[in-house]
Structure 1
Amino acid sequence: MLIEATDAHFAALIAGESPDGLAVAEGGVEAPEVLAMLRGLSAQVGESFHPNAWMIVEDGEVVGLTSLVRTPYVGDTVMIGYGVAASRRQRGIARRAVADLLAWARGDHRVKTVTAETSIHNGPSQRVLEANGFERTGERTDEEDGELFCWSVGV
C-alpha cells in the first residue's frame, strides 16, 4: 500500500522515528543522507506537482519509498524512482508498489506516460518494471549513476 509521504514523514524517517505510528523496516528504509535528498526532491517537485512521494507500507511497516524524481516534463510525463529497505528486498514489494503507483497515475488526468531508469546492472529493478508493463526505450550515461536503461509505459 502507498501512503502519501509528507515533509513530516521524511523528518521522522531521517530522525530514525516512526512516522504516524507506523513501524519501520529493520535497518531503516534508507540512509539518512539519502532520505534528506529525497525530502528535498519532494519539496522541489511539490512546488508544481502534488502528490509526488509515497511511503511503501506493508503490514503496518514502512518498507520503502517511491516518488516522482523530477517535475513532470513533456506536459504529461512523470519519472519515478523507488527503493525498498535492504531487509525487505526480494519479496515482491517493489513490484506491488510500482503497480500501485501506476494505478494512481491512471487515475490522474495530468499523467499519460510514466518513465523510469535503472542501472544496466540492476536486474531485479529491471524485472520490476517489465512485470509492470514498462518497455525499455534506450540507454544513457549519468555522471553519478553510470550506464542506465531508460523505460516507459503509457497509462
Structure 2
Amino acid sequence: MMPAELPAGALLRPIELTDAPSLRETSLRNLDRFRRSSPRQPDSFWTPEGQRERVEKAVARNESGEAYCCVIARDDAVLGLVTLSTIVRGPFCSTSIGYWIDHLEEGRGIVTAAVGAACATAADDLGLHRVEASTLPDNVASQRVLTKNGFEQFGRARDYLFLDGAWQESVPFQRILHDRPPSAGSA
C-alpha cells in the first residue's frame, strides 16, 4: 500500500520500527481512553521496550500477511493506528478493522479518512470482500466514523469483550467491499 494523504497534513502508512518512541508517547497520552475501550496490558507494555516489541510484532504481522497495521502520522509524530487484523482468505475473504486517534486530533476527519483508505487497501490491494468492526454502545464518535465509511450495523453482541474489568456489550458493523469472487491465490 502506498501512503494515503489524510486531512490536517496527516498520512496513513505502514508501521515502521522507528515509530515505537512516538507511538509510546501518544499511547501514554491516551491511556485513560484505552483503559475503557481496550484490553488491559501489563505495565511492561507501556515501557520503551514494550512498545518496541509491540511495533516489531506489528511489522512481522504485516510482512507475513496476517495483518496490516498502519500509523496515522504527521511528520515524525504518530497520531494513531489503523489495523486490519484477522485477515482470512478463501471463501471468507474478510478482515476486522480497529483504529484510534490521539484525543488531541479528534474532530478533524483524520480517522474517518484513514478508515476509508484502509478499506480501499482491503478491497484493492488485499482483494478482501468484507470488513468488520465493533464499538462499545456509547462510542457514538466511532460509530459515526464507520457509517461515514459505508459500514452498516448488524445487531448487538452481549458480553462480547472483557474490558475495564467487566464483560462489555458490543455493536458490530460490517462493510461489503465488492462482489468479486475470491482470487485463485486466496484459498
TM-score, structure 1 as length reference:
0.75
User: d(CA) in 2 for partners of 1:89 and 1:76?
Assistant: 31
User: d(CA) in 2 for partners of 1:13 and 1:68?
Assistant: 21
Paired-residue identity, %: 25
1:70 to 78, 86, 90: 86
Secondary structure of 2:86's aligned partner: coil
Counterpart for residue 119 of structure 2? 102
**8 A Cα contact 1:113 1:153, kept in partner:** yes
Higher RCO, 1 or 2 (CA under 8 Å, sep at least 6)?
Answer: 2
- 1:2 and 2:12 equivalent? yes
TM-score, structure 2 as length reference:
0.63
CA-to-partner distance for each residue in 1:34-76, whole Å, 9 max, x for gaps?
9849647636744742561001124664311110233437631
- Which structure 2 residues correspond to residues 50-129 of structure 1 after superposition, within 5 A? 52-58=68-74, 61-72=77-88, 75-129=92-146
- 1:33 and 2:33 equivalent? no
In terms of fraction of residues, the more helix-rich structure is: 2
CA-to-partner distance for each residue in 1:70-94, whole Å, 9 max, x for gaps?
3437631100000000111121111
How many residues are treated as equivalent by the alignment?
145
Structure 2: where are the runs of 5+ without partners?
1-10, 32-44, 178-187
**8 A Cα contact 2:15 2:59, kept in partner:** no
RMSD between aligned residues: 3.1
- Kindly state the Cα deviation for residue 30 of structure 1 after the two structures are TM-superposed: 4.8
